[in-house]
Each structure stands twice: as C-alpha cells, then as structure tokens.
Amino acid sequence: MPAQPLELILGRQFVDTLSLPAFLVDPEGNLLFYNEPAGVIFGLNFGETGGMRVEEWSTVFTPFDEYGKPIDPEELPLVKTLRNQTPNSGSFYIHSMNGDKIHIKVNSFPIIARPERFLGALALFWKTDP
C-alpha cells in the first residue's frame, strides 16, 4: 500500500494526541483513522478495525434527528466538507455503544495541502446537551 501524504500522516499524529473525538477521512470518505476517544463513543477500537471503506463505516455511524428520523448522509457536516471542500458544522444524535441516545456536535475541516491539494477531511466532535 502506498504511503500516505505527509499532511495526513501529521493529521493522524495530531488527532491521536487529542482527548477530543476525531475522524480522519480521505477525499472519497474512507475512514483512515479515528482516535481512542472516538472509538469509545462508537464502541470500536482502531487497533482492531483499522481504516474502513466508506460503505463499511457508514453502517456503523447512523445519525438521526431529534425525532429519531435518519439524517440524509448528504446533510452531514463531514459529507458536506468532502463535497464542497469547506468547513462545516452541525449536530445530531447517535446511539452510543450501550444503546444510549446521545447528542453530538461536529465541526469538520477540509485538509487542503500546499499547493491546493485536497487530501481529505478532519472531523472533531463532542457529546453535548441538545
């Protein structure tokens, strides 16, 4: 497998040091890395799952609104960031590993490297009260 670009390598190193949950994805939306705090929320362990293709991890991550209605993936901040290469934010509900309904807020940022190379996106999120 070819090595990742430096910007993604350093991005992974950075989010690995955070206690804020974070995802790192490539331009196609494949999940390259999630840190330990993100793994705790979703009940996953990166050491066990490794990266996941977009169709795999979209089945794990199933956000819904306050009425329990699934959210169109196209409306998710990270998906918007991948589509438009712009920062986005939003909030929604997910089920935690023990089945609790939790509310999370997300900020997602495009990773645009020198000179204007779009390499993917970083999503930071945290649990909050609705």
The distance of closest approach from Cβ of residue 113 to another protein in the complex, given in angstroms and rounded to an integer, is 8
Site residues for another protein per CB under 8 A: 1-7, 9-10, 12-13, 16, 113-115, 117
Give the long-range contacts of residues 96-100, CB within 8 A, separation 24 or more. 96/41, 96/42, 96/43, 97/40, 97/41, 97/42, 97/43, 98/43
The distance of closest approach from Cβ of residue 46 to another protein in the complex, given in angstroms and rounded to an integer, is 11
Strand 117-128 versus strand 101-113 pairing type: antiparallel
Tell me whether residue 7 or residue 36 sits nearer to another protein (CB atom): 7
Structure tokens at 84: 């438009």
Tell me whether residue 44 or residue 113 sits nearer to another protein (CB atom): 113
Tell me whether residue 16 or residue 36 sits nearer to another protein (CB atom): 16
The distance of closest approach from Cβ of residue 4 to another protein in the complex, given in angstroms and rounded to an integer, is 6
Is 99 in contact with 90 (CB distance < 8 Å)?
A: no
Tell me whether residue 13 or residue 62 sits nearer to another protein (CB atom): 13
